[in-house]
Amino acid sequence: MPLRPHSLHDHACLIVHGPDQPGLVAAVTSLITRNKGNIVTLDQYSDNPEGGAFFQRVVFHRPDLAAAMPEIEADLDKTLGAQGMTWQLTDQSMPKRMAILASTSDHCLLELLWRHRRGELNVTIPMVISNHTNTAESVRSFGIPFFHIPSQGPDKSAAEAEIVKLLTGNVDFVVLARYMQILSDDFLTQVGVPVINIHHSFLPAFIGAGPYKKAKERGVKLIGATSHYVTKDLDEGPIIEQDVARVTHAMSATDLQARGAYVERAVLSRAVQWHAEDRVIRHGNQTIVFA
């Protein structure tokens, strides 16, 4: 059961990633112990114990964590750096800053805002940016700043530049809640933080406009959704989460779209939660998810 944000005081999350080798688990647990930490959860995975890659996520409690962080980080650098491992240590009481980009469809956007208000997502939301204005009133009713940046025509560079100005230094990751614009390589480079997308199918099926119409015409029996990290290769980034719903021949394309919206909302919410809680480790074009 994930810890709720209010119970994360003095809790740290340690992510370890690198070549698998004997003694890694002992090294990490001993390090936490000598730094007066008490392990709350520990998950690990090796893709091949003989020369493969090792992945570990550890959450531990340490009184006066903020003051102890520099000492713990120095110990991690000395202990794990010498073994060729990379590591990341985060204070779990510090929510990640999540910006949301949206277009006209509001189901994924409102799902995230609702879950955030209920305390289910350990994030802050400094802004929602949209290329349309139809969601402005709904977003502001949650007390979240709304910015309208139109994006029309083949040249999106001016709109992307405005978005980059808003995001730079203010967010830790970005979520595309059905933001129906293709982001350029330059945008992804300039933003410099992870970007999470929701795709309304099992990739790579039914890419492009009108996916549920295409699914109906194909006579599918399952529809699905995929949440993934955005890369320069369209819809081919590392997958975080997927799910499906069963459909029948009697359902119209509109029925498929309505059912698909439920799946999209759930899949994106889980992906956002797992990323915010440092449960996702990227490894090439794959992810290790300690859900």
Q: Tell me: the pLDDT tens digits for 176-234?
A: 999 989 899 999 999 999 999 998 875 456 666 777 788 788 888 888 899 999 999 87
pLDDT for the residue numbered 47: 93
Closest CA to 200 of 251, 162, 253, 252: 253
CA distance 1 to 20: 28
pLDDT for the residue numbered 213: 83
pLDDT for the residue numbered 243: 95
Q: In the chain, pLDDT over 90 holds for what percent of residues?
A: 81
pLDDT for the residue numbered 289: 98
Closest CA to 287 of 246, 233, 242: 242
Identify the band that residue 1 occupies on the pLDDT scale cut at 50, 70 and 90. Answer: very low
CA distance 291 to 274: 7
pLDDT for the residue numbered 37: 98
Q: Which of 235, 243, 255, 278 is catalytic?
A: 235
- 64 is a catalytic site residue: no
CB 35 within 8 A of CB 68: yes
Q: pLDDT tens, 65-107?
A: 999 999 999 999 999 988 999 999 999 999 999 999 999 999 9
pLDDT for the residue numbered 203: 46
Closest CA to 2 of 273, 287, 285: 273
Identify the band that residue 127 occupies on the pLDDT scale cut at 50, 70 and 90. Answer: very high
Closest CA to 200 of 192, 208, 188, 191: 208
Is the pLDDT at 260 greater than 80? The verdict is: yes
Least confident of 1-5, 17-21, 256-260, 275-279: 1-5
Closest CA to 102 of 123, 80, 133, 76: 133
Q: How many Cα atoms occupy the beta-carbon half-sphere of 31 within 13 Å?
A: 24
Q: pLDDT tens, 23-44?
A: 999 999 999 999 999 999 999 9
Q: What is the CA radius of gyration of the chain?
A: 21
Question: Is 0.85 surpassed by the pTM of this model?
Answer: yes
Signed CA dihedral, 32, 12, 23, 18: sign only: negative
- CA 197 to chain centroid: 8
Q: In the chain, pLDDT over 70 holds for what percent of residues?
A: 96
